[in-house]
Amino acid sequence: MRLFIAIPMSGEMKDALGRMQRQMRDQRIAGRFTPPENLHLTLAFIGEYPNPDAVFLPRVKPFAIELDGFGSFGDLWWAGLKPCPPLRRYVLALRHALAYDNIPFDRKKFSPHITLLRGGVGVPALTVPRAEMVVDHVSLMRSDRGKRGMIYTELRASEPWDPAWDDG
């Protein structure tokens, strides 16, 4: 199974990301646009791994993420996020847990982005809409190739945070 851990996007965030994609289409930017149901923020890419039950998902103390900017990695265009220390701390804890459990994952530097388009031809001029969402869980996802592209399936979500754990 091809696995990754991600933050699924809220409806408001999907709407904002969809507006960015429409701006790209309106400018005749070509490529494979990420379908709304596949929009996510990857926290750790595990890749081929036979035992999803062995993957531990630390609980998420809720925090907010907010869209900010866009960019590209070659022909892949993405939406960026405002700097978010709680997100960085969570990713560090998640990757530490994966390493501790000997779960293989891609160890390249975490660069938070949400993929909008692959194989993009052209340089878009985008206005990034204001959009924010509260992250209160992460999901272990499976990735499968379908007839029309990738199909992402949530295998399970992290357990909810208990406010009684907060020390103020």
Rounded Cα gap, residues 39 and 46, in angstroms: 18
Rounded Cα gap, residues 32 and 25, in angstroms: 11
Rounded Cα gap, residues 67 and 36, in angstroms: 16
Let me know if 40 is a catalytic residue.
yes
Q: Who contacts 35 (Cβ-Cβ below 8 Å, separation ≥6)?
A: 149
Rounded Cα gap, residues 39 and 58, in angstroms: 22
158 torsion bin: left (phi>0), alpha (psi -120 to 50), beta (else):
beta
DSSP letters for 137-149: --EEEEEEEETTE
Let me know if 96 is a catalytic residue.
no
Q: Which of 29, 113, 120, 131 is catalytic?
A: 113
Q: Which of 16, 24, 29, 40 is catalytic?
A: 40
Q: Is 156:19 a contact under the CB 8 Å cutoff?
A: no
Active-site residues, by number, are 40, 113
